[in-house]
Amino acid sequence: MAPLLASHLGIDAFTVSNLNTDQFGTFTREIPRTGSMIDAARAKALHAIEQTGADLAIASEGYFGPHPDIPLAPGNLEIVLLLDQRHGVEIIGQKLTTHVRWVHGIVNNIEDGLRLAYKGGFPDHAMVVRRAEHDPGEMVKGLADEQSFIECVRRLLARTPDHSVFIESDLRAHCNPTRMETICQATLNLIEVMGCFCPRCETPGFQCIEAVAGLPCRWCGLPTAWPAAHRYRCSRCCHESIKPVAEAFADPGHCAFCNP
């Protein structure tokens, strides 16, 4: 993120040491996230501002789960939130992708464990080994070399009554280069959004906050669930405007009447 922020926005980014972002939720589920992704990213940015006295902070937050639009595909949504307290501005970049290195499963021996790990891009992509999916006891994160991984799997296999362990990708950004690429894409989106200025107060980051459904069906003219327009809003002065989409009609395939 830092080179992009420097070259496009002139922001000299640095990381905050001793900032434990696990308190805002973990991928390994021992600390659940409270609120939305945006709430979590904002909480991280505010925490960084409190720690450093800076007036501008950038935080990211990620989601892994089923892709919202593509059945049976894995999805990763990354958001990058820029909080500028001096100007009272909050701007969000995002990227949704099916491009993930993300594995998880139960194994009963070291060979199967290694096979699963390598499928997940190990050792460039680190692994987590634990006794069971929802048992954080003796969980080891950030395993990124074969020797430590094998030792950990062997140790936990011996400790569980059914001789099994749960292995999953360590989805923390510094442990998953594929996720880093997606965060990079979300940062590029943030830069793009910042190139859009509020028509009223000229603050950067005039961004789409919602799609407005209702594009009429080409056959029957009834409104569909397809977006007819997008609502844009300035986070500083709250000015809003509606931009209609380029198409005049929706495909009848999206019409509840023509294609129920």
Which residues contribute to the site for Zn ion (CB under 5 A)?
Answer: 198, 200-201, 203, 217, 219-220, 234, 236-237, 239, 255, 257-258
Q: For residues 82 and 234, which CB has a smaller minimum distance to Zn ion in the complex?
A: 234
Interatomic CA distance for residues 43 and 16, integer angstroms: 14
Tell the smallest beta-carbon distance from residue 260 to Zn ion (Å). 10
Q: For residues 24 and 206, which CB has a smaller minimum distance to Zn ion in the complex?
A: 206
Interatomic CA distance for residues 82 and 78, integer angstroms: 13
Q: For residues 213 and 258, which CB has a smaller minimum distance to Zn ion in the complex?
A: 258
Distance of CA 137 to the CA centre of its chain: 26
Token readout for 235 is: 């986070």
Distance of CA 114 to the CA centre of its chain: 27
Tell the smallest beta-carbon distance from residue 18 to Zn ion (Å). 36
Strand, helix or coil at 134? coil
Q: For residues 67 and 231, which CB has a smaller minimum distance to Zn ion in the complex?
A: 231
Rg, Å, the chain Cα set: 22
Tell the smallest beta-carbon distance from residue 127 to Zn ion (Å). 46
Tell the smallest beta-carbon distance from residue 194 to Zn ion (Å). 13
Distance of CA 77 to the CA centre of its chain: 4
